[in-house]
Structure 1
Amino acid sequence: MLAIAAAVVFGFALLLDFLNTDLGFHDLFNFNTLLMLGLFLLALYFAGVGSGPRSGTGGGSGRRFYGRRPGRG
């Protein structure tokens, strides 16, 4: 979820940069602030904070083998 939020922030920053506007807020919506916010969200995502992909929890973890298992001869 944080990676999606970072993508939205980066897309918004890119759109503001292409349109060369700051929406009337010179210090709030500038390119550097949105870039830092997007990088912060990506750093949180890579650190494991938020609802990202999880492994080893619940009954859906591990490999599923249907029929013969590979490597068993």
Structure 2
Amino acid sequence: MLGIVAAVLFFIAFLINATEISTNQVFSSGNIMLLGLTALALHIAGIGAGWARRR
């Protein structure tokens, strides 16, 4: 799930950068890309991968 969130955040960062939309400092493409990297790191670490049923 967090992998999909990371992909969406990377796409939004790409659109902001490609279209040169002027945004405030909070929603700059660099900050959104860092949020995407954080979500990707959490996904690789196994957090948010889904519920596992214990037997």
Q: Deviations over 1:6-46 (max 9, x none)?
A: 00000000001111013xx4111112101110100000000
The unaligned stretches of length 5 or more in structure 1 are 59-73
Residue in 2 aligned with 1:50? 48
Taking the TM superposition and a 5 Å limit, the aligned residue runs for 1:49-68 are 49-52=47-50
Residue in 2 aligned with 1:34? 32
State the one-letter code of the partner of 1:13. Answer: A
Distance, in Å, in 2 between the alignment partners of 1:16 and 1:32 is 10
Identity among equivalent positions (%) equals 38
State the one-letter code of the partner of 1:49. Answer: I
Q: TM (normalized to structure 1)?
A: 0.64
Q: CA deviation at 1:50?
A: 0.3
Runs of 4+ off more than 3 Å: none
Q: What number of residue pairs does the alignment pair up?
A: 53
Q: TM (normalized to structure 2)?
A: 0.82
| Greater RCO structure (CA 8 Å; 6+ sep) | 2
Residue in 2 aligned with 1:66? none
Larger radius of gyration: 1
